[in-house]
A and B are shown apart, each in its own frame.
Chain A
Amino acid sequence: MEFVEKAIKEGRSTLSEYESKQVLAKYSIPITKEVVVDTKEDVVKAAQQVGYPLVMKGSSAELAHKTEKGLIKVDIRNDEEALKTFDEFMANMSDIKDPAVLVQEMVKGQRELVVGMTRDPQFGPCVMFGLGGIFTEILRDVSFRKAPLEKRDALEMMREIKGQKILDAVRGMEAADIEVLANILINVGQIGIENDNIKEIDINPIILSQGKPIAVDALVVVG
């Protein structure tokens, strides 16, 4: 895959969020609508393309933890805010190679999931599913399957986490679209099987927006 090969050629071990999501999109995984801009002139056009309210994030392959560095801003409502945020982020990233800003659709939803792929030295690519966002690290409520996954595996692993009820219609929220989620799990496994140079994938969070899962942040580790 071109992004992966390019990154390896440049001696990088991770893809940027944007590149990571392009990899996911190639495997039919729903991602946020987003545009990368590196000059101020393009900000307004990008914002109009994505539509307000929107999210802006610092974007560089060297950036793994954007939250800690104050490089995420949500609920940006107009051109003025967008331009101001662009300037701030670019100033913050002055010591980073090829800085840019990701202008991204703001996905509304209260439920966050994680889907990942890791390579086990003995069993090869394995797919992870669990509670996303900050709960991934706090609760470690996750399940695994070896790839390739059958649909039954995907359905089973979603029901194996302790917090599985998050997928149901709870507190007035719509039930998660299990079919789409199952396909995401199957396809993440497929990425692992078909691309030896992709070492790990971490999609966190996948937000359930009216039940529809959308990959909001993603990290692809290559090598």
Chain B
Amino acid sequence: MTVELKEVVAGTDYERIFHPQSLAIIGVSAEGYGFGSGMLKSLLSIGYEGKIFPVNPKGGEIAGLKIYKSVEDIPDRIDFGVVAVAAPLVVRALEDCRRKDAAGAEVLSSGFKELGTPEGKALEEDLKKAAQKDFRIVGPNCFGIYCPRSGLTILPGAEFPRESGPIAFLAQSGGMTNDFINIGKWLGLRYSKVVSFGNGVDLRETELLQYLGDDPETKVICMYIEGIEDGDAFFSALQQVTARKPVIIYKGGLSPAGQRAVASHTASMGGSKAIWDAILHQANVVRVSSTWEMAQASLAFAMLPERSYQGITVAGGGGALGVAACDEAEENGIELPQLKSEIQEKIMAILPKPGSSAMNPVDCANPGVPPFILKDVLLHAAAEERVGLQILIQLLYVYKAFQRRENMQSLREATPYIELADMMADVQRQTGKPAILVLPNNRQNLDDLDLEEVRREAWRLFIQNNVLCFENLTEAFRAIGQVSRYYRRREEILGN
């Protein structure tokens, strides 16, 4: 049984909110730096293509654009408003936007409920009333919407990618939103829609979650949550959305529950942490405990075929392979089945000896085994039907020694990462099983930064070739475990 949900409010024009053709920015100043002018410059810098109408009663010009003295003076209709005026002036600015036919507005201004003062609370109540079915408010006290396809961006956000992708992110916190996009930028995450909704007077977690659940552009939904507005509605939305796509949640603010002096055991054990743990698990939410873990999980969900993985192989040479690592696999519900003897024989025939082993993990004895040999190792190992996914550990720093030995000009030249990228992509195509790279860098001295640079270049190329990468085996197992658990449990729930 599920609780009847509020329908996604009919009349909300999300298309014009996320992909506005024209924007009014209310509260820009020609001099100095304010949120309004900051947003304007960020939008110009990221290359927002729509029309921008800056507004300030003083008029004038900013960045070559005419500043309108009032919203009313704007000659066209507007799709979306960006409001950065002082708190007491916000409601008026919103009403002006609505009269210009806007579908909604984001309110960057602060000075509302978060102050904790009666004035702040009263202003927030007024703001709530300004929201309408056909005019939705994001904020206040937020950094706004980032949508790479339209070029909307959050503060400061001037250099965020314009390339769209399958990952959406929701958070009250603007700082967290910036962190997540910044990590994602180099890790390889690409976003559909990102919303920092601040105090969330109108559009907030439940409704946005439902919208993203229906959004064909979004395949993975990430959320950072502190408080929620309506537990029942949120829970129902989670259940409905996780039946279709993964929802990854990082829950903040879970302090140990105060022990109440109550008669029953149940009440004293049902503190908020225990209940949140249960709720998220019950709704098949993927639970993470840091922004970094969330970024890795969302990358794995975005890149891996939608299924659960139980048997995997791990291959590599050098110090990175270990029994301990394989123990960690088990903790994440992953097995490393022993390869059939005929497969082992084929692999042993091509690996350097002595020191190699074709049990699983496959020890290549030497971290510098060339990609064409590794390719055959992976192709052979994939023949084991209990294996659904393969991990190859590559210690790119061995090529630094190689470069010195061979007197090569640059590390880039010595590192066969282009071959690796092609090879991994080929393996995935030929076997139909994902092949993942783990790229640890144990040499992070100041005079080895060229290594890190090459590793990052390689990482970018691997992701472009649709090869998922992790920094270490522990994190790879964790993410694969999260993906597998989600799909396995979804099947169980839907099959019920």
Contact = CB atoms under 8 A, between A and B. Distances in A.
B278 A126 contact: yes
Interface stretch (B120-128, B259-267, B295-303): B259-267
A137 interface: yes
Nearest to A144: B278
Interface residues of A, number: 34
Interface stretch (A46-54, A85-93, A114-122, A164-172): A114-122
Contacts of A162: none
B266 A123 contact: no
A200 B270 CA distance: 11
Contact of B228 (A64, A122, A128, A151): A122
Interface string A146-168: 10101111000100000000000
B263 A142 contact: no
A157 B279 CA distance: 12
Interface in B243-289: 262-267, 269-270, 272, 274-275, 277-279, 282
Contacts of B448: none
B264 A144 contact: no
B263 A202 contact: yes
A140 B269 contact: yes
B282 A221 contact: no
A204 interface: yes
A155 B267 CA distance: 22
A180 to B, nearest CB: 20
Interface string A129-148: 01000001100101111101
A146 B279 contact: yes
Nearest to B230: A122
Given A118-B270, A148-B1, A152-B492, A123 B275 contact: yes
B11 interface: no
B432 interface: no
A145 B274 CA distance: 10
B370 interface: no
B235 interface: yes
Given A120-B275, A122-B228, A144-B275, A128 B266 contact: yes
Contact of B267 (A122, A153, A200, A204): A200
Interface residues of B, number: 23
Q: Is the interface of B mostly helix, strand, loop or mixed?
A: helix
A116 B278 contact: no
A60 interface: no
B232 interface: yes
A219 interface: yes
A143 B266 CA distance: 10
B370 to A, nearest CB: 48
A122 B276 CA distance: 10
A75 B184 CA distance: 67
Q: Is the interface of A mostly helix, strand, loop or mixed?
A: strand
Nearest to B1: A148
Interface string B307-329: 00000000000000000000000
Nearest to A132: B265
Contacts of B1: 148, 150
A124 interface: yes
A118 B279 CA distance: 14
Given A128-B269, A128-B270, A150-B496, A14 B278 contact: no
Q: Which one of A114, A130, A146 has the highest number of Cβ atoms from chain B below 10 Å of its Cβ?
A: A146
A201 interface: yes
B270 A14 contact: no
B231 A221 contact: no
Contact of B232 (A116, A123, A153, A199): A123
B278 to A, nearest CB: 4
B278 A146 contact: yes
Contact of B493 (A14, A116, A140, A152): A152
Given A123-B279, A128-B270, A145-B278, A137 B265 contact: yes
Contacts of B235: 123, 146
A71 B267 CA distance: 24
A116 B231 contact: no
A144 B264 CA distance: 15
B29 to A, nearest CB: 41
Contact of A145 (B228, B232, B266, B282): B282
B267 A114 contact: no
A123 to B, nearest CB: 4
B232 A126 contact: no
B270 A221 contact: no
Closest CB pairs A-B (n = 4): A116-B266, A202-B264, A144-B278, A122-B231
24 contacts: A114-B265, A116-B270, A118-B266, A118-B269, A120-B272, A122-B228, A123-B275, A124-B232, A126-B270, A126-B275, A128-B269, A140-B269, A143-B278, A146-B278, A146-B279, A150-B1, A153-B282, A199-B267, A200-B263, A200-B264, A202-B264, A202-B267, A204-B265, A221-B263
Interface of B: 1, 228, 231-232, 235, 262-267, 269-270, 272, 274-275, 277-279, 282, 492-493, 496
